[in-house]
Amino acid sequence: MDSKSIRRCLALAACLLAEPVLCGAQQTAMQQADQAFRAGTDAYTRGDLNTARTEFGLAVQLAPGIEEGHGALGVVLYALGQYPQAIAELETALQLNPGDRNAEENLAEAYSQIGSPDKAIPLFEAMDRASPLRADLLAVWARDLAAVPDTAGAIGIMGRAVASDPQNVILLDQLGSLYAQAGRWTDAETTLGEALQIDPGMASAHLHLAAVLSHEQRMDRAAAEFTLAAQLDPHNASVEFEWGNALEAANDDEHAIPHFQQAIALDPNLLDADYQLALALQRSGKETDAIPLFQKVVDARPQQAEPLTNLGLALVQTGRAKEAVPLYLRAAALTPESPTVHQDLGVAYLQENDVDDAVREFQTGLKFAPEDAHLHYDLGLAFKLKDDLPDAIAELESALRLDPESPDAPYTLGILYMQDGRFDDAVRNFREALERRPQNGDGWAVLGSVYRQQGKYDDAAAALRKAIELLPDQPGPHITLASVLQEQGRQDEAMAERKKAADLTRVAVNRQRAVFDTNAGNALLAKGAIADAISRYQEAIGSDPNYADAHLQLSAALAEQGRTAEAAAERQKAEALTAKKP
């Protein structure tokens, strides 16, 4: 609502109420109304909106039948941000005098402010047919059309606004944003560039241009525009939030996370930033850090299923499936036909060893998504846990048919066929799985075992040597290879493999002891029993001198005792071991 229309409405109301009327009580009431209007007008001119509201309210009470009075009160209520009350007065004004242009303009803007574009748009259309709208009203109309959404219509109306006021950078910025919403990236970049040529210091235009550039994967230029926007408007959380979104869309969660964190620091109530930060942390393997953020969003938006399912997933990922189940049940109640929710709930049940309920959820999910390969795969795993091999095989074969490139379905099928004694089928599926995931050392080891059972010793030896290459610290493949070589009569080679297996087993046992002693030392250190903790760390190192964590924790414990030189030496050992074998 522009200042000219406000003054026009107030001046007209004051003039009309100053007209002489009949006599007696009516004349007295109108005189009082006139005085109230003059006082309201003076207050409004001074910027004293509260007094203006009181005076205009009195005038309307004294002269309820004069349309301009309701219009003037509506103007002040609008200026105070009391949009529902403003709407009531402006609607009354139009009832008293249909077609009053000022009241129509003000009412349309008030509808826009309360988020009722369906009511504002017909008013704008009618007014525009009667007489073309001003640029500022065209812009409001365009924003309402975008909210419907009618992006194409919004672009047309905003284009008219820009044409009538071509140097208005705010309108150019809004038009550029609408082009971006419509996917017209070149038009968006050109229009935003025009805005920045007029006003290089316009932070919002730099922000919107950055979003356009990031969508086009021009990340270097986008980063430069985001940086400018942040410098020009350093307290605007939206800049950091959109920067984080752009990086997230580019699969760069590592760099997106600090921008989301900065957005939250600038605006703790920006809940979308909490949610996007939680998602980025979850994807980065930091589920524990994501959980409280997801919980915050769930508490604020209890009727949204997606945050519930993501919180549930984070809990499952951290071994807290029991806490996840009620969340998934809430999500399922909100979106009963979502196959994803039923799948996630089934996975949570599996983690809790509740196989029957897991089967039920996977089957329910398949009712809504019968061609979902992942659901068939999960159902197959559940049947496998129930030792129901026929149904498990059927579901896994369905999963493989629906997703022929999956390495998981043929691998699991290979295990089932092997258990069922169908070795040829097992080999065929293992080979398919290993073609898609050749770095699966366990897969090569199992394939070698199946070949051995088939008496295909050369194939078995080749597969087992591949497993040894990929799993150099595992004794199992050496033991199986020793058996194959023994069957081939290659006694010396078999003995060498058994010796390697024994050495690796000893190393593995020593590592287990070292891990146990280190964990015990950690518990003692947490209790403040530093001397006892040092003793356990030293025992761990005695079992496995190459266990970096033991050296690192010993360094921390020694530092607690002030033994800085010894602590530094242990830290150096830990760093050297980590660098040698990360």
Residue partners of 314: CB distance under 8 A and separation at least 6: 278, 282, 287, 290, 291, 294
Give, in order, the Cα–Cα distances in Å from 453 to each of 423, 462, 510.
Answer: 8, 14, 32
Q: Which of 346, 288, 298 is nearest to 320 (CA)?
A: 288
Stretches in the chain below the pLDDT threshold 70: 1-27, 581-582
Phi, psi angles (nearest 5°) of residue 391: -70, -35
Look at residue 534 and tell me if it is in a domain: yes
Give, in order, the Cα–Cα distances in Å from 333 to each of 307, 328, 459.
Answer: 14, 9, 53
**Assigned token pair, 545:** 């001198």
Residue partners of 294: CB distance under 8 A and separation at least 6: 275, 278, 307, 310, 311, 314
Cα dihedral sign for 180, 184, 190, 191? negative
Q: What is the CATH number of the domain that holds 559?
A: 1.25.40.10
Cα dihedral sign for 78, 82, 88, 92? negative
Look at residue 582 and tell me if it is in a domain: yes
Within 10 angstroms of residue 569's Cβ, the number of other Cβ atoms is 15
d(C-alpha 6, C-alpha 102), whole Å? 8
List the Cα angle 227/229/232 in 5-degree steps.
110
Instruction: Report pLDDT for 26.
Output: 57
**Assigned token pair, 350:** 């599996």
d(C-alpha 236, C-alpha 267), whole Å? 8
d(C-alpha 224, C-alpha 301), whole Å? 35
**Assigned token pair, 333:** 């109640």
Look at residue 519 and tell me if it is in a domain: yes
Any idea what DSSP says for residue 390?
Answer: H
Q: Which of 496, 445, 497, 449 is nearest to 466 (CA)?
A: 445
Position 160: which residue type? R
Look at residue 520 and tell me if it is in a domain: yes
Specify the number of domains making up the chain: 1
Residue partners of 252: CB distance under 8 A and separation at least 6: none
Question: Is 201 within 8 Å of 232 (Cβ atoms)?
Answer: yes
Instruction: Please report, in angstroms and rounded to a whole number, the separation of the first and last CA atoms in the chain.
Output: 65
Full domain range(s) for residue 529: 513-582
Which ranges in 63-202 belong to alpha helices (H)? 67-79, 83-96, 101-113, 117-130, 135-147, 151-164, 169-181, 185-198
Question: Is 311 within 8 Å of 298 (Cβ atoms)?
Answer: yes
Instruction: Report pLDDT for 508.
Output: 85
Residue partners of 79: CB distance under 8 A and separation at least 6: 1, 6, 49
Look at residue 575 and tell me if it is in a domain: yes
Q: Which of 440, 424, 378 is nearest to 403 (CA)?
A: 378
- 304 torsion bin: left (phi>0), alpha (psi -120 to 50), beta (else): beta
Look at residue 536 and tell me if it is in a domain: yes
Look at residue 558 and tell me if it is in a domain: yes
- 470 torsion bin: left (phi>0), alpha (psi -120 to 50), beta (else): alpha
Look at residue 535 and tell me if it is in a domain: yes
